[in-house]
């Protein structure tokens, strides 16, 4: 401390206090390390029961208040009572209570049954109401937390001012450390534990008890999050988390599309983000001009649950748009796992198998202590009954001893001397009421003695057998899982099923190519040099060439299929091959549905021209190719043409030309596509072109110059629809055999 001292002129001046030098390492050790250890051990890192101290103190206070079986009480009452154990202030206690509540939705298995506004975990700005407005009680599952609390299964310590006792851990009958999600940031370390489904965790633990080397992913395939969504399942990543306790999983939102309103509704989002974060990111992308397909986005969350409404512009493919949002916004987010847990006061990074090993060892001790407590109570009761048995053999002598004793304090000693019993037994006998000294009472006590002896022997056998103790743990796990388990909220999808979005696709190398499509769906892309070396095409047995075309490697190609779908891709997506190869099998290459086959190949170029769809009912739809042009990298287009009638043929027409239509009753018709009005709606049913007789249908269609008809005048007509004319041998000449 600075001191005042007079100088030669008599004025007071301040002299600084001497500075004591201290090494920085010593300062850190004396001042900082105790704080760091306190944060690690007593605040931020969860223990093997799955709770941080703040959670444990709050739940134990509610248990002491009788809120496990009673009605709800104001949250403010709980907060006030908890301050006897947790002196960190009412705001911090209430925040803890909010997170544990069912109303907030932060936990898959909430421990607090709440009433009122507790906010939502998926909203950053939805504030919870003050504690004086909300009401709480313990959820039924808390019976599994406190079932053994009064049977010496865990240790108790003094609270901060030594006015009451509190449990060191809660004797949970299930691995809550894996069920309840937990996040904590300490000094120099952190913990982030994702939640798992309660029923799956219980099943996995039972399987682990039977076989420590079992495959845990069979029973507990992946984390489960309270906000739902879809987890992109990567078995290698999951096994890494289970083995090391570190890693990350990707979760994406769930959505549905309302075709009538052209609106996408997002109703589940990743656990690691919020509605506001998503809205902010979308607004940022719109301002940057990266979401031109979006017309509007609104937060329509209400009492029914979360809902983000996204209005799309006309013609936008919803799946492609969502893939773009998944890539650019938190609608697809990663959850990083860091299973750092306190075990015996020491933080340890553990995988799931190691966590189950530690939990089973800890739970084994809890159950043994519970059994030992029950055994001790039974032995005490049995000891008292043994003393009673000695008295009941000569009850008259006992009564005489009591009557002849002059002082009350001498009754117990005299009984001890007379019957050779200890003080506890004598005290128990002296307290028996006079009305109980009858034959019925004596017989019941003797029967109870025999029953207690059997129970004591049974508990001693259980206590001495690890197998039987573990059987009790397994039975409790099965009961808990079946009673409180719920279905998974987070769905699992394979990584191959998650859509991709390529923000900046590199321009492919451009050069001339020839493409060939076979009847069975095999596709080849061959360079001119390779064709000059060997031009004879090889196909599978009973397969043949359907169509071929000249193009460039950078050109787009559209494949139309039998299930009203179109698959778009670039020719550069296919490897160059040779004429002697079979080529790529399109149903497998493009991921088509089962039973789906290719019916037509279209090289749209600049998306000029039309697609002609010939249906079996005689109608023809002329659809502008520009309607298949999309701004995104959408691969699959649904509703590529009408499903009102089966498709007989599909032909790409760069410009209007004459086409031939053949029916099953041997008729043919020639008409010009210029007589058809083009449509922009892909699902148009077309216009009637060929009038068909009963049970007849259109079998095939082709360009007029390739149909083989040598006398076309008979088959032309001025008006449509028309029945056409019967095909005679002289109409087709010698090329009739090649019509197929």
Residues noted as catalytic = 133
Q: Please, are residues 13 and 156 in contact by the beta-carbon 8 Å criterion?
A: no
The count of C-alpha atoms lying within 13 angstroms of the C-alpha of 203, restricted to the half-sphere facing its C-beta, is 17
**Segment (H or E) for 332:** strand 332-338
**Segment (H or E) for 729:** helix 729-732
Of 173, 219, 468, the closest CA to residue 352 belongs to 219
Q: CA-CA distance, 325 to 327, in Å (whole number)?
A: 5
Which residues are bridge partners to 341 per DSSP?
A: 348
The count of C-alpha atoms lying within 13 angstroms of the C-alpha of 284, restricted to the half-sphere facing its C-beta, is 10
Q: CA-CA distance, 80 to 55, in Å (whole number)?
A: 15
Q: What would the two tokens of residue 576 be?
A: 């160059």
Q: CA-CA distance, 577 to 585, in Å (whole number)?
A: 13
Q: Is 128 left (phi over 0), alpha (psi -120 to 50) or beta?
A: beta
DSSP assignment of 211-238 equals -TTS-HHHHS-S---TT--EEEE-HHHH
Q: Please, are residues 327 and 336 in contact by the beta-carbon 8 Å criterion?
A: no
Cα 238 to Cα 183, 220, 487, 682: the distances in Å are: 19, 10, 20, 43
Q: CA-CA distance, 25 to 39, in Å (whole number)?
A: 20
SS3 sequence, 234-248?
CHHHHHHHHHHCEEE
Q: What would the two tokens of residue 101 be?
A: 């509540």
Contacts with 261 (C-beta within 8 Å, 6 or more apart), sequence order: 311
Q: Please, are residues 715 and 662 in contact by the beta-carbon 8 Å criterion?
A: no
**Segment (H or E) for 158:** strand 156-158
**Strand pairing category for 230-233 and 491-494:** parallel
Q: What would the two tokens of residue 105 be?
A: 């939705």
**Segment (H or E) for 99:** helix 90-100
Q: Is the dihedral of CA 103, 104, 107, 111 positive or negative?
A: negative
Contacts with 115 (C-beta within 8 Å, 6 or more apart), sequence order: 72, 103, 134, 135, 136
User: Cα 509 to chain center, whole Å?
Assistant: 41
Q: Find the angle CA(451)-CA(452)-CA(457) to the nearest 5 degrees.
A: 105
Contacts with 178 (C-beta within 8 Å, 6 or more apart), sequence order: 50, 193, 195, 196, 201, 352, 355, 356
Of 76, 72, 67, 81, the closest CA to residue 129 belongs to 76
Of 454, 486, 608, the closest CA to residue 108 belongs to 486
Question: Which value, to the nearest 10 degrees, does the dihedral of the CA atoms of residues 308, 309, 310, 314 take?
Answer: 160
Q: Please, are residues 110 and 101 in contact by the beta-carbon 8 Å criterion?
A: yes
State yes or no: cis peptide before 721, omega within 30 of 0.
Answer: yes
């Amino acid at each position: 401390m600075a001191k005042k001292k007079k100088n030669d002129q008599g004025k007071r001046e301040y002299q600084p206090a001497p500075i004591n030098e201290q090494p920085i390492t010593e300062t850190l050790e004396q001042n900082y390390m105790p704080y760091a250890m306190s944060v690690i051990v007593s605040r931020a890192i969860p223990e093997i029961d799955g709770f941080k101290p703040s959670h444990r103190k709050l739940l134990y206070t509610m248990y002491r208040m009788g809120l496990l079986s009673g009605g709800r009480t104001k949250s403010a009452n709980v907060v006030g009572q908890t301050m006897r154990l947790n002196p960190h202030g009412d705001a911090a206690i209430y925040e803890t209570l909010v997170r544990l509540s069912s109303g907030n939705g932060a936990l898959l298995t909430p421990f607090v049954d709440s009433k009122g506004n507790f906010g939502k975990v998926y909203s950053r700005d939805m504030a919870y109401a003050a504690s004086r407005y909300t009401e709480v009680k313990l959820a039924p599952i808390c019976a599994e937390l406190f079932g053994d609390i009064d049977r010496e299964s865990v240790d108790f310590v003094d609270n901060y001012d030594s006015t009451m006792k509190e449990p060191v851990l809660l004797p949970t009958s299930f691995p809550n450390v894996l069920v309840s999600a937990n996040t904590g940031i300490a000094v120099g370390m952190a913990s982030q534990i994702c939640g798992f489904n309660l029923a799956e965790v219980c099943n996995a633990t039972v399987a682990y008890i039977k076989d420590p080397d079992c495959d845990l992913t069979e029973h507990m395939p992946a984390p489960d999050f309270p906000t739902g969504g879809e987890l992109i399942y990567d078995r290698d990543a999951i096994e890494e988390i289970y083995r090391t306790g570190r890693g990350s999983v990707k979760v994406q939102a769930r959505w549905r599309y309302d075709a009538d309103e052209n609106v996408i509704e997002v109703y589940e989002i990743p656990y690691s983000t919020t509605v506001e974060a998503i809205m902010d990111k979308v607004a940022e992308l719109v301002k940057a001009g990266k979401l031109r397909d979006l017309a509007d986005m609104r937060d329509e969350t209400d009492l029914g649950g979360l809902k983000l409404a996204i209005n799309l512009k006309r013609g936008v493919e919803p799946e492609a748009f969502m893939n773009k949002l998944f890539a650019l916004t938190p609608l697809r987010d990663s959850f990083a796992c860091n299973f750092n847990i306190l075990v015996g006061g020491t933080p340890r990074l553990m995988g799931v198998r190691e966590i189950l090993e530690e939990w089973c060892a800890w739970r084994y001790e809890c159950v043994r202590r519970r059994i030992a407590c029950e055994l001790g109570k039974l032995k005490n009761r049995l000891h008292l009954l043994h003393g009673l048995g000695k008295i009941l053999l000569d009850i008259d002598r006992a009564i005489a001893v009591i009557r002849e004793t002059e002082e009350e304090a001498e009754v117990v000693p005299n009984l001890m001397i007379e019957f050779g019993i200890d003080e506890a037994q004598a005290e128990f006998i002296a307290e028996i009421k006079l009305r109980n000294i009858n034959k019925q009472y004596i017989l019941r006590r003797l029967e109870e003695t025999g029953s207690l002896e059997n129970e004591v022997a049974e508990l001693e056998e259980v206590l001495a057998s690890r197998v039987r103790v573990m059987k009790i743990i397994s039975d409790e796990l099965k009961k808990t899982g079946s009673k409180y388990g719920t279905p998974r909220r987070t769905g699992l999808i394979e990584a191959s099923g998650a859509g991709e979005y390529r923000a900046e696709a590199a321009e492919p190398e451009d050069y001339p190519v020839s493409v060939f499509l076979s009847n069975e769906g095999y596709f080849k892309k061959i360079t001119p040099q390779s064709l000059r070396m060997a031009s004879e095409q090889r196909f599978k047995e009973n397969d043949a060439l359907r169509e071929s075309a000249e193009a460039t490697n950078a050109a787009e190609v559209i494949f139309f299929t039998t299930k009203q779908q179109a698959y778009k891709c670039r020719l550069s997506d296919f490897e160059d091959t040779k004429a002697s190869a079979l080529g790529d099998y399109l149903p497998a290459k493009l991921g088509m549905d089962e039973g789906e086959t290719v019916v037509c190949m279209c090289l749209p170029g600049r998306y000029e021209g039309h697609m002609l769809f010939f249906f079996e009912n005689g109608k023809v739809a002329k659809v502008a190719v520009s309607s298949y042009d999309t701004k995104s990298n959408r691969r699959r287009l649904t509703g590529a043409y009408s499903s009102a009638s089966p498709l007989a043929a599909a032909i790409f027409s760069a410009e209007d030309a004459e086409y031939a239509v053949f029916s099953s009753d041997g008729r043919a018709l020639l008409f010009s596509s210029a007589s058809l009005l083009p449509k922009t709606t892909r699902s148009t049913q077309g216009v009637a072109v060929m009038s068909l007789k009963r049970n007849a249908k259109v079998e095939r269609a082709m360009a007029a110059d390739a149909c083989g008809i040598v006398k076309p005048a008979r088959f032309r007509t001025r008006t449509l629809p028309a029945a056409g004319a019967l095909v005679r041998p002289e109409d087709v000449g010698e090329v009739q055999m090649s019509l197929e």
